[in-house]
């Protein structure tokens, strides 16, 4: 019973997932700090303080403090933009540069000029209509 559990834990997928979660948590704190310490002050310079926590409205005496929600949405959009522009765009460019175009394989069949059936490239006669076929390409 314990050997099965040990095999499950030491399987590559579980270890890779654990490492990914730890790195993701650390990266999340880096991106949050980037947004909080660099991007939010830049937005504050342009449009004023980017804090919407004071926004609320009331209906029949019930107060709805929607400012926290608006702040969370703006923060999410800023984090998503930071991840996209500072992580995904450079990684996609790097992958595109390293990826080589695949060379297409040599054809193994050709079309019969008479009946347009697919026949082996070295065939001298069509197996469907018995028409003589010349050369390697028709």
CATH number at residue 77: 1.10.1200.120
pLDDT at site 51: 67
pLDDT at site 138: 42
Q: Return the higher-pLDDT residue of 24 and 43.
A: 24
pLDDT at site 127: 84
pTM score of the predicted model:
0.46
Instruction: Please list, in sequence order, all residues whose beta carbon lies within 8 angstroms of the beta carbon of residue 5, skipping any fewer than 6 positions away.
Output: none
Structural domain span for residue 44: 13-98
State whether 91 and 108 are in the same domain: no
State whether 112 and 94 are in the same domain: no
What total number of domains does the chain contain?
2
* Beta strand ranges found along 6-138 (DSSP E): 57-59, 62-64, 109-111, 118-120
**Tokens 């937005």 sit on residue:** 43
State whether 88 and 115 are in the same domain: no
Q: Is residue 5 a part of any domain in this protein? A: no
**Residue 69's Cα: distance from chain center in Å?**
27
Q: Is residue 4 a part of any domain in this protein? A: no
Q: Return the higher-pLDDT residue of 99 and 90.
A: 90
Q: Is residue 88 a part of any domain in this protein? A: yes
State whether 24 and 56 are in the same domain: yes
Q: Return the higher-pLDDT residue of 79 and 26.
A: 26
Q: pLDDT by residue (tens digit) across 40-86?
A: 778 778 777 666 777 889 999 999 988 888 878 877 887 788 778 88
The confidence band for 124, taking pLDDT boundaries of 50, 70 and 90, is confident
State whether 83 and 48 are in the same domain: yes
Question: Rounded to whole angstroms, how far apart are CA atoms 72 and 53?
Answer: 10
State whether 80 and 51 are in the same domain: yes
| Contact predicate 109/62, CB 8 Å | no
Residue 13: left (phi > 0), alpha (psi -120 to 50), or beta?
alpha
State whether 35 and 94 are in the same domain: yes
Q: Return the higher-pLDDT residue of 71 and 108.
A: 108
pLDDT at site 39: 74
Opening angle at CA 88, ends 82 and 92, nearest 5: 155
State whether 41 and 78 are in the same domain: yes
Q: How far apart are the first and last CA of the chain?
A: 65
State whether 55 and 118 are in the same domain: no
State whether 125 and 84 are in the same domain: no
Q: Return the higher-pLDDT residue of 129 and 16.
A: 129
For residue 20 the two structure tokens come to 């990914």
């Amino acid at each position: 019973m314990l050997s099965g559990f040990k095999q499950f834990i030491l399987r590559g997928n579980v270890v890779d997932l654990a490492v990914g979660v730890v790195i993701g948590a650390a990266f999340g704190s880096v991106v949050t700090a980037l947004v909080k310490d660099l991007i939010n002050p830049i937005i504050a310079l342009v449009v004023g303080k980017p804090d919407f926590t004071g926004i609320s409205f009331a209906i029949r005496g019930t107060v709805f403090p929607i400012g926290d929600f608006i702040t969370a949405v703006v923060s999410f959009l800023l984090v998503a933009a930071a991840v996209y522009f500072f992580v995904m765009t450079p990684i996609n460019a790097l992958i595109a540069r390293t990826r080589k175009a695949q060379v297409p394989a040599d054809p193994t069949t050709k079309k019969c000029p008479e009946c347009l059936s697919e026949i082996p490239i070295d065939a001298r006669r069509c197996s469907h209509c018995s028409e003589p076929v010349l050369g390697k390409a028709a």
